[in-house]
Amino acid sequence: MSFHDISVHWLGIIGTALAIIGYVPQITHLMMMRCGDGISLGAYVLWCSASSLLCVYAVIAEEPVFIALQGFHAAACALILFFGGRYRNARCPLHRTLPATVAVAERRGEVDGENAHRTWKPNTIEKREGK
């Protein structure tokens, strides 16, 4: 293996690490807050399917960096699909107060437009002392 081959593999390893880091906030929010708001299950089904097929290809082609990348990507998508489906209709306090969420509540008749900020009180997380 030449120096060039080693450096190219490091690029792949760094790229894989960045992909893993990119999923952490989504998965953490989904699991910790039990909030499925904004998760497109259809998109994740496609991404999970594509990653699974690409992982099989990477195994056949014996490409370890792509095996790791697509294997993690498929697993992350599967986790998001599982918890996203489980918490599909659940919203955390943050997502309940977003303007788009208030607009949806208006369309459903849960609040009136002018006084949405006064009449619609989302559940809030209690503030911890000292924070």
For the stretch 71-82, pLDDT in tens is 999 999 999 999
**CATH code for the part of the protein at 3-90:** 1.20.1280.290
More confident residue, 22 or 128: 22
**Extents of the domains making up the chain:** 3-90, 92-124
For the stretch 33-74, pLDDT in tens is 888 887 888 999 999 999 999 999 999 999 888 898 899 999
Q: What is the DSSP letter of 88?
A: T
State how far the Cα of 93 lies from the Cα of 114, in Å rounded to an integer.
21
φ, ψ of residue 44 in degrees (nearest 5): -70, -30
Burial of 71 (0-12, 13-18, 19+ CB in 10 A): middle
Alpha-helix residue ranges (DSSP H) falling in the chain: 3-33, 41-61, 64-86, 93-96, 99-107, 116-119
What is the pTM for the complete model shown?
0.65
